[in-house]
A and B are shown apart, each in its own frame.
Chain A
């Protein structure tokens, strides 16, 4: 018996630029990112009224943006988050490092918001805003305590 192989000639000889996207090597991805992806996929299966208050399931736009966050953020700078579904069809990532607390919420319409909180003996102070660039490192330096 002889082994044979068939090579197929690709029909397309050129590619439109918009077909390309960034590829991240799995070897370069933080181990927690895999767990995060798995949790997100698990939350994607939640039914209507998963929270017992009538919430919609997690929306495709929220899922897409959470996955985009994991593929575009500087993961090497980011500690492992806690991941949760959010009422209305969103997803939330939460970090707490010493006195600093950060929440990033992927809203049902695909927009992304953050709230960062610093706890002091006098009380907590929060600052909130919109996340429009996942590759921005400032917020991660803040979480690590390297920026005020």
Chain B
């Protein structure tokens, strides 16, 4: 199996979107939202994300479940933790990527969660 390639056309400043269950977001007493580390956990050991500049909130949510929300994270955060952003286009969405290798360490998933912010749909 060929070594997955960290996409050279995706810059550190790019934003990745991940669809998550709304129960994984807390609103703290100060009003700031925080994401739980299991938002970056995946049974199939493949963290699915979308390159924000190549898709829309609506497109990402359309293949999800009701009440899911989108969180955004800068590519630089992912790469600084030692992970690659690998292109994995889906038939209906070429912006799909995966974070590899799978982040097995809770601390890494926590760091990604801490660096994520909620993305609101442009038209609601």
Contacts and interface: CB of A to CB of B under 8 A. Distances in A.
Given A54-B43, A87-B41, A126-B107, A92 B36 contact: yes
A87 to B, nearest CB: 5
B87 interface: no
Contacts of A103: 36-38, 106, 110
Instruction: Say which size band chain B's interface belongs to.
Output: 20 to 34
Contacts of A115: 37, 106-107, 110
Interface in A51-98: 51-56, 82-90, 92, 94, 96
Interface in A102-116: 103, 105, 113, 115
A124 interface: yes
A87 B42 contact: yes
A50 interface: yes
A88 B44 CA distance: 8
A86 B105 CA distance: 15
Contacts, number: 75
Q: Is the interface of A mostly helix, strand, loop or mixed?
A: strand
B55 interface: no
A128 interface: yes
B43 A56 contact: yes
B64 A52 contact: yes
Contact of B38 (A50, A105, A119, A126): A105
B28 interface: yes
B63 interface: yes
A56 B43 CA distance: 8
Given A52-B63, A84-B36, A88-B42, 19 more contacts: A50-B65, A52-B65, A53-B48, A54-B44, A55-B43, A56-B43, A83-B23, A84-B38, A85-B23, A87-B38, A87-B42, A92-B38, A96-B26, A96-B28, A115-B107, A124-B110, A124-B114, A126-B106, A128-B105
Interface of A: 50-56, 82-90, 92, 94, 96, 101, 103, 105, 113, 115, 117, 119, 124, 126, 128
